Structure 1
Amino acid sequence: MTLSWLYMPMLKWKRGERDALRYLKEDQWEGVTPMLELQPIGAAPDTPSLKTALPAYVDEVSEQINKSVPALQAACIDTGYLSSNYAKQVSLLLATCRGLTKRLEHQVVPVIRSTWLETLGSLTTTQIAVLSEFEEVILRLRTDEMDPSQVQPGVDALAKFVKKRRVHLVLDQFSLVDRDPDACVTAVTPYLHAALSAGCASVTLAGGAFPVNLTGKRQGFTDLPRVEWQIWQKIQKDAAFGALRYADYTVTNPAPLPEDLDPKAVNPSIAIRYAADGCWRLYKGRGFKGAPRGELRNLCKLLVSDDVYSGEKYCYGDAKYHKDANGGEKNGVPWTWRRDATNHHIVFTADALLT
């Protein structure tokens, strides 16, 4: 049966994002299928090193998925950051997804990036057979890396190995920070027409506009435009695009996380990234290191008294904000801030798409 989703949250698969899914209620999974961008494996980018490290890595990811994603729910797996300098990316994707399939009851859906298509011809007979084992596959096309005329050839290249009716296209606009929504609609429209005429199982429009960091944002609250959502709302006015599906990067910038970032060298601001219609309302406090106790509580008080607040019973993240607004003086840690914001964002976005 062909997978059907309304919303695909594209997650970096760090602890905050994993727990954001873990605390979704059963009914909050309606219409939601996540894409998991697996994080670096920590092994040299050569075949012997990856072959040695991969079994333990897949075991760990399997445990994480079992805790965070309900059984039988689909999980779309992107391994582009797992070992980004490795030459045989499709081989690594297939090995990872096959290992996950053996360990999970979930439907595992491999995500093939458009930049990998030219390497498909080097797959072995065994690897081609592995690719054929997956009921469905995602082809992820970056619109900032290609022209609309390249959409059909990209689909045709994959169709030599996977029938089009098993291929889901994700048109990824990638970073939309500070972009003009009207200009973006004009730019992406030719890609949408090309994708919808390619004969695939579905087409999903993706993008993300949350800043890389909060540098330069003032303390207190600021509205940051959800450009990807504004684009979606404009596109949905055209009946020709009624079959489109939606994806975003929740409350994270699309760019990959720095692999060599020293946590001791940064001082992130205590903040709430709260999704509303057309914007995120950002509540920003002082830097985590040296911030006074109760800084997060004060921000939560601002949120729960704001008209944008959905109420303590809306979702896990909103319940946490209510609790913290009326609780002690602990400021949490960055992954708990990301957990609560991502959980609210997923529920809020899915609800908007369902109504």
Structure 2
Amino acid sequence: MFNHRHYVPILKWKMGEYQALSRLAAPVKDRITPLVEIPPVGFDFETQTNKESADDHLGDFGKRLKSKWQARPCFVDLKHLPAATRCAGGRHCVDVLFQTARAEGCAAIPVVSFANDAAFLAAVATVARQDRRGVCLRLSLPDFDRLNLQADIENLLRSMADGYGECDLVVDLGTPTYVPIAIMVTIMQTLMARVPMLNQWRTVTIAGTSFPNSVANIAAPYQLLPRHEWQAYRAFIATLGHETRIPTFGDYVVAHPDLVELDMRMIKPFAKLRYTITDHWHVARGTPVRTHGFGQYQQMCATLVRLPYFSGRAFSAGDAYIEDCAAGTATTGNLSTWVWVSTNRHLTKVVDDLAIAHGLSIAAE
């Protein structure tokens, strides 16, 4: 159970992201319930086959979750796995994944949506009965066009939970046009007014992002990109009365929601450093790492640490790594390194932003 003082980041369950979670300070972890998305089984473009079986893909989830997040609650969404995905013996992937989490004593809560088929929902209902942690319903913008939204929600959840009090709600805006902010605030007000039984849900989160799907056009050495989702959220909650339930803030950290399977033989990834500051992201873009190497990150970090908004090494593990890289005392790593560095910084910064916005002291709680 959490309220608007909490934070729900939506993360892909990949190495950079789960390393970012594991390296957070304990007080920051205590203010986060991540919604982790299981990525699809990787595809080998050379052999034109999947890199592994569904069992291999999902089999170590519980052990890894325990290692990186211990027994803290998290939402788990399998939306990126094709509906027909099955494991050995015809077992549903939902059954297999949550069994691995259960075996490790992890507090994983399944995510459902109107996009899930009957077999998926039946598997989640079985998990919910076994684990007794309820479920999380993820609504997208098109769902609010349903003529009988409340009845549809109740029909969807009936087999999984005993009422709204056992359900978490995430209203996922995706990647809307946040500007003008005033118009976006009106949209958010309208959506929340359409949520049935707003005060009865276990938790209510509103999430979305304005992070671009590509930073290829970022001008060197860096640009500041506005965090429109954070600006819109602050403007939205400022309109709410004292008796109105305030939704929890969620975002897609420093990434775009879309998952694209890339043939790494054909692309030339650029060095990029993403650093979250108040109301903006500092995004630095270098040159292709295959031809120019990762050494360029040292200069990118050196430029950042000289700027007035660099928080210093004590702020987060990501900040410490940036400072050490700038000084030449940490390696320049690989692409996964800079995902965890950027994500760890972002998670810590948002928790800090929320504490300031709500007049809280993390240390005092």
- Report matched runs for 1:21-36 at 5 Å: 21-36=21-36
| Aligned partner of residue 302 in structure 1, secondary structure | helix
**In structure 1, what residue type is equivalent to 2:247?**
L
Q: Which residue of 2 aligns with 1:47?
A: none
d(CA) in 2 for partners of 1:181, 1:120: 40
Q: Which residue of 2 aligns with 1:16?
A: 16
8 Å contact kept, 1:294–1:331: yes
d(CA) in 1 for partners of 2:17, 2:208: 17
Q: CA deviation at 1:86?
A: 2.3
Q: CA deviation at 1:347?
A: 0.5
| Aligned partner of residue 174 in structure 1, secondary structure | coil
Q: CA deviation at 1:331?
A: 3.9
- Report matched runs for 1:148-187 at 5 Å: 151-161=149-159, 162-163=161-162, 164-176=164-176, 179-187=179-187
C-alpha RMSD of matched pairs (Å): 2.8
8 Å contact kept, 1:180–1:227: no
Normalised by the length of structure 1, the TM-score is 0.86
1:252 counterpart = 2:251: no
Q: Which residue of 1 aligns with 2:77?
A: 78
Q: CA deviation at 1:277?
A: 1.2
1:150 to 1:13, Cα distance in 2 relative to 1, 3 A: farther
| Aligned partner of residue 292 in structure 2, secondary structure | coil
| Aligned partner of residue 265 in structure 1, secondary structure | coil
Structure 2 residues not aligned, in runs of 5+: 44-49, 357-365
1:176 to 1:121, Cα distance in 2 relative to 1, 3 A: closer
- Report matched runs for 1:132-281 at 5 Å: 132-133=129-130, 134-144=132-142, 146-147=144-145, 151-161=149-159, 162-163=161-162, 164-176=164-176, 179-195=179-195, 197-198=197-198, 199-240=200-241, 241-255=244-258, 257-259=259-261, 261-281=262-282
1:253 to 1:186, Cα distance in 2 relative to 1, 3 A: same
How big is each residue's C-alpha offset from its partner over 1:37-69, in whole Å with a ceiling of 9 and x where there is no partner? 0111359xxxxxx9x945443332122212211
d(CA) in 2 for partners of 1:193, 1:142: 15
How big is each residue's C-alpha offset from its partner over 1:313-355, in whole Å with a ceiling of 9 and x where there is no partner? 1110000000010106954321111110000000010111123
Q: Which residue of 2 aligns with 1:348?
A: 349
d(CA) in 2 for partners of 1:66, 1:277: 32
d(CA) in 2 for partners of 1:252, 1:331: 21
**In structure 2, what residue type is equivalent to 1:80?**
K
Q: CA deviation at 1:258?
A: 1.8
Normalised by the length of structure 2, the TM-score is 0.84
Identity %: 23
- Report matched runs for 1:97-108 at 5 Å: 97-108=97-108
| Aligned partner of residue 352 in structure 2, secondary structure | helix
Q: CA deviation at 1:179?
A: 4.2
Match of 2:128 among 98, 106, 131: 131
| Aligned partner of residue 290 in structure 1, secondary structure | helix
1:110 to 1:328, Cα distance in 2 relative to 1, 3 A: same
d(CA) in 1 for partners of 2:126, 2:332: 51
Q: Which residue of 2 aligns with 1:61?
A: 61
Q: CA deviation at 1:237?
A: 0.2
**In structure 1, what residue type is equivalent to 2:76?**
I
Structure 1 residues not aligned, in runs of 5+: 44-49
1:192 to 1:92, Cα distance in 2 relative to 1, 3 A: farther
8 Å contact kept, 1:296–1:330: no
Runs of 4 or more consecutive aligned structure 1 residues displaced over 6 Å after TM superposition = none
d(CA) in 1 for partners of 2:234, 2:338: 28
8 Å contact kept, 2:16–2:338: yes
Higher helix proportion, which one?
1
d(CA) in 2 for partners of 1:180, 1:120: 41
**In structure 1, what residue type is equivalent to 2:128?**
L
How big is each residue's C-alpha offset from its partner over 1:76-111, in whole Å with a ceiling of 9 and x where there is no partner? 110011x224289xx946414531333222211000
1:122 to 1:324, Cα distance in 2 relative to 1, 3 A: closer
